[in-house]
Every structure is written in structure tokens, then in C-alpha cells.
Amino acid sequence: MAKTLKNNRAKVVLVGAGPGDPALLTLKAVDYLQRADVVVYDHLANERILAHCQPDAELIYVGKKAGTHTLPQNEINDLLIEKAREQRLTVRLKGGDPFIFGRGGEEVLAFYDAGIDFEVVPGITAGIAALSYAGIPATQRGDATSVSFITGHEDPTKPESGLNWPAIAGMQGTLIFYMGIKNLPVICQNLMKHGKAPDTPVALVRWGTLPRQQTITGKLDTIARLAQEKKFQAPALIIVGEVVRYREKMNWFEKKPLFGKRIVITRARAQNSELDAQLRELGADVLQFPTIRIEPPHSRQALDEAIDRISGFDWLLFTSVNGVQFFLERLKAKEHDCRYLHPVKIAAIGPATGERLRQNGIFPDLQPPKFVAESLLEAIRRQGSITGKRFLLPRAEEARSILVDELSRAGAIVKEITAYRTVVETEQRKDLTEKIQKGEIDLITFTSSSTVKNFVTLIGEREMRNLPDVAIACIGSITKKTAEKFGLSCRLMPNEYTIPGLVKEIVDYYRK
């Protein structure tokens, strides 16, 4: 009889990672990933899902590809049992659903025999999700009142097939074969041999739910030849049935304006969520390559002293969201709120900077129509004489000097304070250079001059000179000038220097 360990942390949780799109992960799966001490994950589990893990969680890759297994199944079972016996909450992250062709049942039986507590968190299987993303309904009134999940790759050690081909071929519903691309000709032949009409519609869906999704359609007697001509490879599903005919009208995912475009984001990891989310929503395959990291100044003393003497300033100027964030953090640390800023007029460059102020109950007195320092300077001058006026600028350590210089020339007294620093992000994606050289990158985005400089530093000037036909998008004129200084030809620059403006410009570029 299996023994039961008393410590409830000694447990393995089988978690279904879903079909590929990280947004299709369940809430319960996220909860366990956030609490796990150990995460043992598969090849088909999207890496972005691992971002939910604790920073100090032990991550162990045991992925399997055709012909290449990191560990055999019995050793994976032993590994999971070993980690659980260390009194560590262990998550076994499996692509799709653990119990649908995922060998989750074998792992659970091993836990039972070893006396290890276990739990199973279902995942959305590709047999449902990939069809939806390909515009193919699994069931449809009048055409398919049943759906069958069938393995296309049986256990090679079995003496004979366990599939009842006459029964399968006789089904009038939708047939979905997993892991069957290698055996596609045999599957088609068996279906036709046992009565399936040669003109039955068939679809192949590769990398379902991801921006690199590929779909081809044909008939039972032509699909194998089409797959060979297009060099169609695994991982993919085979869908057989009348429902495939609906793809022409129901295909929505592959019609997104940025579908399949591989776009690199270079802004700081903590700030890339808005750009990342908007590009992904439009179908892009986004690679995060943060080139900068936002950090506090080496000393907060100067900023704290400026806050203490805030009533001595006439204007408080914010030129970025980061400047707002770090200034308000120190304001709150000193137990002040927005009322403390009452005597001072506040100006902000750009709608994002202004919006961050408003989110904290501070409404700017001035926000120029253009999102550059020159526009702010012009707007301030229209407010009246600035001779003798005192200005406080909490901003980046190495910000452009034009605003300070021009205000000073006009007779203003300017106090520039370092509110934050931008430093080179040392954690880089090693394979990005290779992807660029292979022509696998469509577009690179730059949202500040520092992202350009650091990108060149990380990639290398020699590689940049040999950059193939990759489109460059810059958020504004200053960033564009910096890119051109390093020999990068900027093809895209929005009229509105904002993230939504940049995204719109990218969409318009590819629509043309």
C-alpha cells in the first residue's frame, strides 16, 4: 500500500501549460507556478509562462523532441519524486493538457506508488485551441456532432496498432490526430482504405495559437503531397472532417495585421508591457531584448533635499514617466502627498507622463502638444517671463541638456536632479544576433536614445554594420537621430511620439 507523506508541501502538481499562447494559461496554473519551489518543464511549454515563477525557483528542463530526449520518462518520474521528497512544492509543467497524450497518467501512477501527494491542473489542449485559432470549429450543427482525439504516433513497442481504423473511418464527426505529421501518408491511406471519401477536407495546423502558426488545407487524397511540397513539419495537428470548410469564413487569428511578424522590443523589462501587449494583440511574435535597466540614483540625498525645499520652486518639470515614478516614491517615503506640491506649477512632456501624474492625483498645469523638450520650452515661454523663475527637473542621470541650457539662457534658475539612472541591461538573449543574421527578425523598435546606444553595445558595432534587411522603428526624432548616428536607417517614426503612436505606425507600415 502506498505511503502518504505528512508534510503537505511534499507534493507534485501536474500543470497543463496549454497549447502555446501564454495568455491561455489558467488562473490555478498561475497560482501554483507563483508558489512552486521547483518547476520541471517540457519543450512545448512556452518560456513566457516561466515568468510567473519565483525568482529563486529551481527550473529544470526535461523537454522531448523527435529523436532527442533530455531524460527518459522513468528518469523524469524519479526526478519529480526526488524533488517532492525534499519537502519542496514541485510543479510538473506540461504542454497542453497533462492527460491528453501527455503521459501525465504514467507520472501520476509513479507518484501513487511512491506515496507522493499529487494534484492535476488541466490545460487547454491543442485539439480545441489550435482549431479555434485556425478558424475551424471542432463541432458544427449539421456537419459534426462529435469530435475524437486520436494519437497519430502510437507506442513503437506495441506489437500491433491499437487503432480501430474501420470504426475511425466510419465516424461522421471531426477527427483530430495528435503527433501524426510523420505518419500523415499512412493515416490518410488507412482512412480512405476503410471508407473515408478521398475528397474529405483536411487541415494541418502547426504551432497552433502562436504568431508563427501555419495552416494548410487540402483533401484526404492530396494533403500528404501538399505537406511534402511545403516541407510542413511537426509539431502539428491533423484535422479531418467537413468542419475544415468553415476556415475560409471563420479564420480570424491569421488575418491580424501583424500576424507572423517577429518584432524586437528593446525598452526596459519593467516598462515593455504596454508595447508588448499591443503588438501581441495585433498578432506579432514579440521578442523581448531589454537593453536598459532603470535604477535609482546612487544617492537620493539631492532629490530628498529638493523635495524638502519644494516651496522655493516656481515650476516642477517632468520629462518622462520614470521621472514621475521616482519623484513620487521619494515624496511618499517622506510621508507627503499631492497637497504638498500645491504652491508649484507642474509641467509634463508627453501624454504618458501626464497620465502617470493624473493617476496619482496630480493634474499638470502645462502639457505641450509635441512630446519633446523644445516644445515644453516654447510652451513655458508663452506663460510669461521666466527671468528669475526657479525650475526643478527630476530626470535621468544623463538626460539631454537642451532644456536646462535654454531655460538658463532665458534667465531661469534651474535645479537639475538625478531621479533615476539608465544602465546597460547585462541579461541578454544570446541567440538574437543569430536570428538577425538569418533574416528571422522583421523589425526592431527603439523607444529612447539609450535603447539604441545599449543595443549597439550589446550586439556589437561590427554586427550592426552587417545588419540585413531589418526595419527600424523609432518613437521620435531624437531617438531617430541617435539611430542614424550609429548607421541605422530608421524607416518608421510616428507623428505622435507615444507607444500607441508607434504601434499605429508599425501597423500602417505593414498594411502598405
Active site residues per annotation: 42, 64, 179
Q: Identify the helix (H) or strand (E) that includes residue 444.
A: strand 443-446
Residue 124 to residue 246: CA distance in whole angstroms: 22
Please, which residues bridge with residue 318 across strands?
Answer: 348
Q: Identify the helix (H) or strand (E) that includes residue 324.
A: helix 321-333
SS3 219: strand
Cα–Cα nearest to 84, from 145, 6, 19:
6
H runs (alpha helix) in 251-370: 273-281, 301-308, 321-333, 351-359
Amino acid at 27: L
Q: Which sign does the torsion angle of CA 354, 358, 362, 365 carry?
A: positive
Please, which residues bridge with residue 135 across strands?
Answer: none
Residue 180 to residue 467: CA distance in whole angstroms: 39
User: CB–CB of 386/317 below 8 Å?
Assistant: no
Pairing of strands 443-446, 413-424: unpaired
Return the C-alpha cell found at 388: 528669475
Whose cell is 502538481? That residue is 13
Phi-psi category of residue 66: left, alpha or beta, with phi > 0 → left and psi -120 to 50 → alpha = beta
